[in-house]
Structure 1
Amino acid sequence: MASSAQQHESDDDMDEFMDKFKTLEYKNAFSKDNWEEEFDKVPMFMKSLPDEIDPNKYPELACIQSIIHSEDRSPEEQVKCLKNEGNDFFKEKNYQKSILCYTAGLQKKCGDQELCTVLFTNRAAAHFYLGNMRSALNDAAAAKKITPGHLKALIRGAQCCIELRNFSEALQWCDEGLKVHPTDKKLQELRAAADKHRRAAERDARKAKVKAKKLHGEKEALLAAIKDRGIKFLQSAKRCGSDDEDEDEGSPAVMSQLSLDGISSQEATGAQVFQDEQGSLHWPVLFLYPEHQQSDFISAFCESSCFVDHLIVMFGEELPPWDVDRKYLIQNLQLYFEDEEKETLYQVNPETPLLEVLQHKRFFVKAGSPSFIVLVTGSSFWKQFISGKKIRGL
């Protein structure tokens, strides 16, 4: 038994040790400034896995990873670890990394059919949430091939088909699943949704077909009306180099092949020729004022209307602001259409109906819109413009 002197000496040594311990810092302790960051490096307390596992930065995690993926373990154990790792990434909504894990597990080819089914189904889910519907459907089909009655694979396959708007195939997935799981509410809901979408799509398709048929009929009637009137288009005109105006200027064979796509001005002007219920044609017409580089556009000029009807509106009570000299009065205006090939201007009487001009043997509709030039009689620009050109009347 120790004497009182020895006991006193021991107590003094302990007191000295504790006093010294208080002044020392633990070398491996977390720092005061970044303890949360250091704490997050411990695998047990990590809130999320890092994108890249650097052994120097995450030594404990790297050690665990090496154990998980050790080739010394059986293929089944390795695949299960990869599946669990993929599930962890999935829970964090890191679907890309979960796909990598599931794919790595499938590449192991462990031979466990149940495990492979789960990997395909889980990868299908990850692809689904990334919007890769075709890949998700392929994985669901692969899972179903291994385990035909697998509920999650059947549900995922039906969901993918609905997203891909393949409603008939979605119904097949649901019907196949309900044979095995007749009371499953999710499959029942998916089947009801797929059937509703399929019926709506079929209804829309019927409406579109009826509409297309109607539009086709209207186009055919319009083309027939244009052809019957003998109206010619620039792209369909068979012009020859002769100055003889009595020659055939437009080929009926070409006119019979004319389509609305070739005569439409809708892209350029937002309008195109149409036929009303009474059978009259209405044309988009351009009036050009080359002296001022201006123009007017009539979106629906009825073929039976006269030019003066529109000129009165454009130059009647109020003249356009660009006419600073106030000379574009109706009585001063001359109207022409130009035959560029023959360098000839044809003067149009404003009292003439549009159809009469369109049927002239030297008039060709250009870009779907008949166009006419408006000049001021006797002006210096008028003299310059008509210089060197032939002037003819209708």
Structure 2
Amino acid sequence: MDDPAPHRHQSLAFMLLYALAVAGGSMAYVPFLTILLPSRIAVLAGSADVEWLGLLTFAGAIAASVGGILFGWLSDITNSRRWWILSGLVLTVALLLAVPLADDLWTLVSIIICWQLALNMVLGPLAAWGGDLVPDDQKGLLGGLLAFAPALGAWSGALVTLPVLETFESRLFALAFLVVAAVTPATVFARPRRLEMLGRAPSLDRDGRIGTLSKGPAVRMWFARFLVQISEAALFAYLYFWFRSIDPDMGDNEKARLFSLALTIAIPIALYCGRWSDRNDRPFLPLVISSAVSAAGMLGMALAASADLAKLAYLLFGIATTVFLALHAGQTLRILPRSDRRGRDLGVFNLTNTLPSLIMPLLTISVVPGFGFETLFLVLATLAILATLILTTIPRPSPGRA
């Protein structure tokens, strides 16, 4: 008699291609938002570049929030992910290449809003596609593979800024090529196995009603990620200024190497922890540990007595946070109550990525000028500790769940 177990698993080849496609999403926005767009704003806005960057960040975050929910939900009701992803990819690339055509700031704002909507036409259905195809007992491994996404996003920034790409337009073309090359294989050429168990009926609560995101583990997973993401967003935006405050002689190359090193070291750790959680049916324990380590790293950054200790503490924080976010993305697919509304629900979860970008500037401006980065890091460490405590309240899944 054939062993049915292999039919309950997705092929590693597809999971690798899927992780590459998710990394393509990171490639689309990390270099563009951190390097290419600020350089374009500097040309158009001159001395008002910081204010216009803030406006674009705010407008983009709103568009990303709306787009994630809208296009995830549309991919649910049309019962199609692949064509939404491909349509969004075409629009994303077209709008990316249209950025040089903007010769005034309000045109640039309009293009960026449309680009954020198009990008989330890719990201929303793509996230839900993983839930459609990867069973629960592989979601830890899937989360580990997703750790490649931020690292590839950072590495792509180094590629598109190579000296051989001298013009803004050539860098955008190179970036567009990388994004298409990463997203296309999984969505066009891959033929993943469909697993009927992943289309199970919506879970019911004790009263026999369909479960919602406002109950059970989902809301705790949402708040835990939201709290950790505030810390991650603050460091992402203000890392340059913090490094400058602890070591004025630190060059940009060393800053970039530390950032990339943290993302790279996190990959094998996330893969190991994800696979361990699958084998031992402990999906949430690595999340508890990584969020606790993230808090410890942030405390170390606040209390470090030297620049070298501060840099080591940052590495600890960066590695642990990257592991947490990757594994959380995989395990979130496990706790969503409705398989027929995965895209919509993941759009709601995507708010944990966009809302911190709106909250973080207010938090930083209110704390850093008067109290310094040390106090800010103590506040952020407290948020990470709260996330850890929230995660410890999530019960272990019932044995034998698919």
TM-score between both structures, scaled by the size of structure 2? 0.20
**Greater strand share, 1 or 2?**
1
* Larger RCO (CA under 8 A, 6+ residues apart): 2
**Greater helix share, 1 or 2?**
2
Report the structure number with the largest CA radius of gyration: 1
TM-score between both structures, scaled by the size of structure 1? 0.20
